[in-house]
Structure 1
Amino acid sequence: MAKSTAPFSGFEFLIAWRYLRARRAEGGVSVMTWISLIGIMLGVAALIITLAVRAGFRAEFVDTILGSNAHVTVYSAQMEVEPGTGIYSNLMSDYAARAERIAAIPGVTRAAPLIRGQVMATWGERANVAEVYGITRENLETIPRVAHSAEAEGDIESFGQGIAMGSELARELGVTVGDTVKLISPNGVKTPFGTSPRVNAYQIVYIFTAGRWDIDRTRIYMPFAEAQSYFNREGGADEIEVMVTDPEEVDDYTLQLLQAGGAGTMLWSWRDASSSFLRALTMEDNVMFVILSVLVLIATMNITSGLIMLVKNKGRDIGILRTMGLTEGAVMRVFFLCGAFTGVIGTALGVGLGVLLALNIDGIMSAVNWISGGGAWDPSIRGIYELPAKLQAYDVGRAVGLALGLSFIVTIFPARRAARLNPVEALRYE
């Protein structure tokens, strides 16, 4: 009776490695091995690059939201201004006291009263719709993507003497720091003959780039007191912009914010504003992973084809090995290792290629943009200005685990077939 050997002994690795290094006469097996290896390498690389780009896009998108918008917006429901008057308004007349109470909540880093309104911005013959945020200079300086913009122009310290404007809006109007633009609001001065539009001219003292195309194209910051006068909000504020230390756990602040805000307080968080888009990103991530997993599966199936051919060509060798005392388990492990070697090597090369391309995605996109003549990445559609990539150990681990798992699974059938080959039948015609 054949004596059982320890699983995955050194001689099993030696035989498997020699079989993979097929002689020229057995070039068909060698070609199939190379096809399998290259297919797995490309599949794993594509999976890693896709996961890195999706993670980078999500991280950049969320960062532009949190870096230039409120984590939570506190506003008031419409309430009667004075009992019995029948006049309702959602203007916060006690905004200073509310902001002070909210700022005292542990974890809240800023509570800034805001005035919001829409205007038509004009300069010369050019015009565009803009959204105005009335805010104090001290609070404006705490907005990361605005106050610390890498491509900012002008001096934010001069904000009290003029307005701050997004870079895309400035580009479309053709203005720069020092120019004066006209802001036209349809809700202006109230006269006996109705409401007439309000037209005021303001000097641009600061131009920022927040990193989000829709923000840079529409947003204007105006000094808080001037915005109160311009939009007829004297003595009040439209909302309070709240920033917290941990935006991902923003829902934990709900109860405290409602209590600090008082009667009629309502909340709108960044998750509420972007939940549909973030859910769509998550669904797209899962779909892309499944699609690319199928590609990796197709690549690993070539291992099966190569092993079947290898088993057929090595039938005589299998018979000799069995007569020398190798067990079915040992033969099965030899051919399993043949497929596993291909999977491991292809996966390792795929990880190297995928990481290399992910780390250089900016240069690759620049080359694609240059070859295509521009427009390969349109910020008006994508929302952000560049294609980011964020390598995460979890994503790389998922890709490696998938490729190795599929490579090991598909080798079982041909390996079992080799193990069950009858040595007598294998040597009959030799």
Structure 2
Amino acid sequence: MQEPEVVNQTAPFSRFEWLIAWRYLRARRADGGVSVMTWISLIGIMLAVAALIITLAVRAGFRAEFVDTILGANAHVTIYNSAALNEGGQPSRVIEDYTERAEAIRQVPGVIRVAPLVKGQVMTNHGQQNAFAQVFGIARDDLAAIPRIANPETADGDLADFDRGIAVGREVARTLGVGLGDTIKLISPNGAKTAFGTSPRVNAYEVTYIFTAGRYDIDNTRIYMPFTEAQSYFNREGVADELEVMVAEPESVRDLTIPLLEAGGDRTMIWTWQDASGGFLRALEIEDNVMFVLMSVLVLVASLNIISGLVMLVKNKGRDIGILRTMGLTEGAVMRVFFICGALVGVIGTIFGVIAGCLFAIYFDQILAIVNGASGGDVWDASVRGIYKLPAKLELSDVLVSVALSLFLSFVVTIFPARRAARMNPVEALRYE
């Protein structure tokens, strides 16, 4: 009895399928190719992927810079008292036992620094120039532990001289027109109490340190004064207004809420950096999601160009499809040939897009500086944006998301024209040949 003949079938995505697809892609239009549409599709995907990577990098860089300026110049947690009536019958929030309470809070696991503060608002004056400022009374060692303030690369002066003067933000110094060694007047409406009422207090201080915190609103309003001098100036002898707490993990600061309240005592209240900036960060997160969706649509539109190119390719190669089918090529093989055509465009465009996007993100500062110089310096206004620079932070996860999205859309849109080619009737394709 004769055994049935075994038909050998080639494995999917065999070498000949890749060779046919590559030949179709690089064929000239005169030979039935669609090289122009191929180049348009490839360039479109490349630009869309690059734009998506750049957008994600700038988004990540802006958030990182904004959060770093918050955590590097402000308290991660502010400890203050609930209001209570003082001896004069007035509501007061001052902390009398700030030394003991600071020591108790310092023992909480995760807390790395606790500093008592005296805070007040003043009017500053130098010559004919005046400006509003917020004064922070703080010890020199505690001020030296604030990263953004004590950075010697961005500051002028020496913190060793802080006890004999004050430290001012760079924008405050610019507004008043002062430099190191100059003297400015601080005017507080809540000065000395006399029989005729409270008279404004006017003291002159030498500028011994000029800092840049990286945030315009901080540099434009903040002044640091030695703690004991601030107690005297703001009538806070023997007390503090609040405690500034720094923690090891700022992003997880809410986990320390209960321990900090327990360590602080009955009247303790807390205000975290997330409470202060949570609204802006949530708005920034929503904006990030919207931008990602919009840029994803751009990638989809660029991927749709592949359909146009493949539809034209299938139409031009109708005779070839008919011949291949009569030679024994299966529908699946034909579909894979044209799927490879579209997929190659998507893959090559994605690769070039990743290279372009990563290079743009890496050299973003230089590119922005060139654009800023060409436009007269109005591209990035710190007084409006809040921070002085717009950094780009390239993250592997963002690049992988961009690559995955581009390849997924490219492969999906390729399936439809590839199926059309596979289902083409070879008799109809060769009828008029």
TM-score tier by shorter-chain length is over 0.9
Contact 2:28 2:34 in 1 (8 A): no
Query: Counterparts of 1:99 and 1:121 in 2: how far apart (Å)?
Result: 31
Match of 1:356 in 2: 359
Partner of 1:72 in structure 2?
A: 77
User: Partners in 1 of 2:155 and 2:45 — Cα distance?
Assistant: 46
The alpha-carbon deviation at position 2 of structure 1 amounts to 7.5
- Normalized against structure 1, the TM-score is what? 0.98
Partner residue of 2:337 out of 316, 328, 334: 334
Instruction: Give the distance between the partners of 1:26 and 1:285, measured in 2 at CA.
Output: 46
Other-structure match for 1:234: 237
Structure 1: gaps (5+ residues): none
Contact 1:43/1:296, CA 8 A, preserved across alignment: yes
Task: Supply the distance in 2 between the matched residues of 1:399 and 1:296 (Cα, whole angstroms).
Answer: 9
Shift of 1:79: 1.6
Following superposition, the deviation at residue 93 of structure 1 comes to 0.4
Matches of 1:70 and 1:28, distance apart in 2: 65
Amino acid of the structure 1 residue aligned with 2:238: G
Which residue identity lines up with residue 69 of structure 1 in the other structure?
N
User: Matched residue of 1:119: which SS?
Assistant: strand
Cα 1:71–1:283 shift into 2, 3 Å: same
**Aligned position for 1:60:** 65
**8 Å CA contact 1:36, 1:342 repeated in 2:** yes
Map of 1:5 onto structure 2: 10
Contact 2:32 2:317 in 1 (8 A): no
Q: Give the AA of the match of 2:379.
A: A
Give 1:81 deviation, angstroms.
3.2
**1:190-241 CA distance string (max 9 Å, x none):** 2222211110000010111111111111110000000001111111000000
Asked if 2 retains the 8 angstrom alpha-carbon contact of 1:74 and 1:265, the reply is yes
**Superposition RMSD on alpha carbons, in Å?**
1.3
Matches within 5 A, 1:164-179: 164-179=167-182
Matches within 5 A, 1:134-283: 134-283=137-286
Structure 2 unaligned blocks of 5 or more: 1-5
After the TM superposition, list the runs of 4 or more consecutive aligned residues in structure 1 that deviate by more than 6 angstroms. none
Which residue does 2:3 correspond to in 1? none
TM-score by structure 2 length?
0.97
Number of the residue aligned with 1:44: 49
Q: Secondary structure at the match of 2:270?
A: strand
Amino acid aligned to 1:81: N
Q: CA deviation at 1:28?
A: 6.7
C-alpha distance in 2, partners of 1:6/1:28? 27
- Check if 1:300 corresponds to 2:303: yes
What percent identity do the matched residue pairs reach? 69
Aligned equivalent of 1:414, options 413, 417, 423 = 417
SS of 2:19's equivalent in the other structure is: helix
Distance 1:341 1:323 in 2: 26
Q: Aligned pairs, how many?
A: 428
Mapped pair 1:380 → 2:383: yes
Q: Does 1:21 align with 2:26?
A: yes
Aligned-partner Cα distance in 2 for 1:75–1:387: 34
The answer to whether the 8 Å contact 1:149/1:210 transfers is no
SS in structure 1 of the partner of residue 199 of structure 2: strand
> How far apart are the structure 1 equivalents of 2:280 and 2:32?
52
Paired position in structure 2 for 1:291: 294
CA distances 1:345-398 after superposition (whole Å, capped 9, x unpaired) = 000000000000001111111111111111110011111111100001111111
